[in-house]
A and B are shown apart, each in its own frame.
Chain A
């Protein structure tokens, strides 16, 4: 193996450090950065910094963190231990929290809030007493395929009533008919289903509803083509694959084995951030309809929750939050977490009853995000 020359090694160590802190740095970016340093001359440290910002492209909201790491690496060489440590530690801690693995929290407040939600529950229970949960879900599954949110695809398909003429096909036809146009052909864009991503809050405060929410998620997974389901509590768990099973009881039973943090505390912000931190998950959210079934009672940092929802709103097509607390007519998002998230939500709706949730999801396609 070829040892990199010493000065280069110092730069390479910085990109390694960035990766350690959760920045995505591709090899080609490193190469571009080194080429840039060569161009500008490494004499001026601010040139190196500007070149780093331009080529390694940290996201704007992490500029401060990026600069801190840069300072620690290139300027703090005299006191590496003092400067590097705090900035190094912060992201690590966050990752640990995001990954879960923390003790479930059974706090008094959690129970209290569960009790507070009870009147709403009784109220909404009366709404659908007439028909069983099962019937609601079956009706939902039948109605869904026609009403899933769709987006225009990139490709065209022949269509009789399409909006534009299909010149290419008409031209081909004309070739066969000695240059005569016989028929007007039309085409339209193919429609594709938008992915629906459901986050089910399974914390203690949502205990009474978890079962029916999962039943809903199962019905949704079965009825629509592209759906992803995650549970959030103290950790994030993907249960999409188990929910694909046909038999609901079996699917839910398998899912319950998969999830380790039933009825625990709530770290919605951390769980959502954990979702965003995994590239293959966050890619799922691109252009998708996001549905969060949660009361928004956050035990973690409410600012983290607001930030996560803000990021989702930039990636996803629509972000909808359905909380059982909204069944109460006098409801306003008073919890710190939900009010931090509120400005970034497309809709904050009533998730008090299964029928309510179903109708929200069926109407996703109706209201267009601006």
Chain B
């Protein structure tokens, strides 16, 4: 197993954590350790967690730290090779043949200029300056998962007209899943795994202060407490970190326009809860929750 101890000057989880902080992402020790190990061991990083805990953000921040372009492949039910790997540009091929006419010169229509790169192929061809993010794999179907398995173990794909294309170094690949279904054991096995929890109150507060501009510490603390409380309620969709940030920002805005604090939070509740049933469930409890959060 090829191990790279130092990547862009980072040689320990702690240093990675600091670099991520400079990229405006506050990672906990578990995440920075997993991410560092994935980079050092040259394995894909699999991030799982509830929606809105910052999985995609983590990938963006890691790409930022490495100074590489992030190639994002959003998965969906029915995703296929044409969307993930490559496609031939048929109209251009046709045009090239037409232009050639009856002339003597032979046109190779399988040259690069006729190939439309999709994220996975792009990543294989330029592993040194890209990070591949395969987002929400749990949405794809299991044939695609099986196909990923092959890709992730060899970092090689084959194009029938061109032969196999192999990455000349191990690319950085980050996979995320909301765990709406369980991923295949074989896929988990190939990756370095991290389960992202909702952040601890103290950390979530720092995230809000960092992400939202002009939010007072008191407001941030109240949002964290209230959101933490909402996450314990039986809701269809629990508020994620970005919802918490937006809530703090929205309430601050309303407050600046003259609304009193608890009222500003109550009026901007639509930023946090985006499901009719959830709003109905919370409506009778919101005053108690806000009071508890000491708004």
| Shortest CB distance A57–B (Å) | 4
Q: Which residue of A lies closest to B90 (CB)?
A: A167
Tell me which residues across on chain B come within 8 A of A35, comparing CB atoms: 1, 3, 41
Q: A171 contacts the other chain (Cβ, under 8 Å)?
A: yes
Tell me which residues across on chain A come within 8 A of B88, comparing CB atoms: 167-168, 171
Q: Which residue of A lies closest to B144 (CB)?
A: A154
Do the beta carbons of B97 and A179 come within 8 Å of each other?
Answer: yes
Tell me which residues across on chain B come within 8 A of A39, comparing CB atoms: 3, 5, 36-37, 40-41
From B1, B12, B182, give the contact of A32 (CB < 8 A).
B1
Known: A39-B3, A47-B33, A60-B179. 7 other contacts (CB 8 A): A39-B36, A63-B195, A153-B143, A154-B147, A171-B94, A179-B98, A311-B182
Tell me which residues across on chain A come within 8 A of B94, comparing CB atoms: 171, 174, 179
Tell me which residues across on chain B come within 8 A of A50, comparing CB atoms: 13, 29-30, 33-34
Cβ contacts A to B, 28 pairs, < 8 Å:
A24-B185, A24-B189, A28-B190, A31-B1, A32-B1, A32-B41, A39-B41, A40-B33, A50-B34, A51-B33, A53-B30, A53-B194, A54-B30, A54-B193, A54-B194, A55-B37, A60-B179, A63-B195, A152-B78, A167-B90, A168-B88, A170-B90, A171-B94, A179-B98, A189-B78, A279-B185, A286-B184, A314-B182
Question: Is the interface on chain B under 10, 10 to 19, 20 to 34, or 35 or more residues?
Answer: 35 or more
Q: B80 contacts the other chain (Cβ, under 8 Å)?
A: yes
**Contact residues of A with B, CB < 8 Å?**
24, 26, 28-29, 31-32, 35-36, 38-40, 46-47, 50-51, 53-55, 57, 59-60, 63, 151-154, 156, 167-168, 170-171, 174, 179, 189, 279, 286-287, 311, 314-315
| Shortest CB distance B35–A (Å) | 9
| Shortest CB distance A343–B (Å) | 9
**Bound-state Cα–Cα, A278 to B270, Å:** 45
Q: B291 contacts the other chain (Cβ, under 8 Å)?
A: no
Tell me which residues across on chain B come within 8 A of A286, comparing CB atoms: 142, 184
Q: Chain B 139-155 against A: per-residue CB contact (8 Å), 1 yes, 0 no? A: 00111100100000000
**Bound-state Cα–Cα, A53 to B88, Å:** 42
Q: B191 contacts the other chain (Cβ, under 8 Å)?
A: yes
| Shortest CB distance B148–A (Å) | 12
Do the beta carbons of A315 and B141 come within 8 Å of each other?
Answer: no
Do the beta carbons of A314 and B195 come within 8 Å of each other?
Answer: no
Do the beta carbons of B37 and A26 come within 8 Å of each other?
Answer: no
Q: Chain B 256-272 against A: per-residue CB contact (8 Å), 1 yes, 0 no? A: 00000000000000000
From A32, A167, A287, give the contact of B192 (CB < 8 A).
A32
Q: Which residue of A lies closest to B32 (CB)?
A: A50
Q: Which residue of A lies closest to B4 (CB)?
A: A39
From B37, B144, B181, B184, give the contact of A54 (CB < 8 A).
B37
Do the beta carbons of A54 and B33 come within 8 Å of each other?
Answer: yes
Q: B69 contacts the other chain (Cβ, under 8 Å)?
A: no
From A40, A53, A156, give the contact of B13 (CB < 8 A).
A40
Q: B93 contacts the other chain (Cβ, under 8 Å)?
A: yes
Chain B 42-86 interface residues, beta-carbon cutoff 8 Å to A = 43, 46, 48, 77-78, 80
Q: Which residue of B lies closest to A54 (CB)?
A: B34
| Shortest CB distance B135–A (Å) | 19
**Bound-state Cα–Cα, A5 to B97, Å:** 65
Q: B180 contacts the other chain (Cβ, under 8 Å)?
A: yes
**Bound-state Cα–Cα, A314 to B180, Å:** 6
Q: B285 contacts the other chain (Cβ, under 8 Å)?
A: no
Tell me which residues across on chain B come within 8 A of A60, comparing CB atoms: 48, 179, 195
Q: B188 contacts the other chain (Cβ, under 8 Å)?
A: yes
Tell me which residues across on chain A come within 8 A of B1, comparing CB atoms: 31-32, 35
Do the beta carbons of A171 and B93 come within 8 Å of each other?
Answer: yes
**Bound-state Cα–Cα, A35 to B4, Å:** 11
Tell me which residues across on chain A come within 8 A of B179, comparing CB atoms: 60, 314
Q: Which residue of A lies closest to B91 (CB)?
A: A167
Chain B 189-208 interface residues, beta-carbon cutoff 8 Å to A = 189-195
Tell me which residues across on chain B come within 8 A of A171, comparing CB atoms: 88, 90, 93-94
Do the beta carbons of B189 and A36 come within 8 Å of each other?
Answer: no
From A29, A154, A179, give the contact of B141 (CB < 8 A).
A154
Q: Which of B5, B94, B184 has the most CB of A within 10 A?
A: B94
**Bound-state Cα–Cα, A317 to B36, Å:** 35
Tell me which residues across on chain B come within 8 A of A40, comparing CB atoms: 12-13, 33, 37
Tell me which residues across on chain A come within 8 A of B46, comparing CB atoms: 57
Tell me which residues across on chain B come within 8 A of A156, comparing CB atoms: 80
Do the beta carbons of B193 and A57 come within 8 Å of each other?
Answer: yes
Chain B 125-184 interface residues, beta-carbon cutoff 8 Å to A = 141-144, 147, 179-182, 184
**Bound-state Cα–Cα, A279 to B188, Å:** 14
Given the known A-B contacts A32-B43, A54-B192, A314-B179, are A287 and B185 also in contact in the complex, defined by CB atoms under 8 Å? no
**Bound-state Cα–Cα, A153 to B80, Å:** 10
**Bound-state Cα–Cα, A26 to B153, Å:** 14
Q: Which residue of B lies closest to A152 (CB)?
A: B78
**Bound-state Cα–Cα, A168 to B38, Å:** 38
Tell me which residues across on chain A come within 8 A of B144, comparing CB atoms: 154
| Shortest CB distance A143–B (Å) | 27
Do the beta carbons of A53 and B141 come within 8 Å of each other?
Answer: no
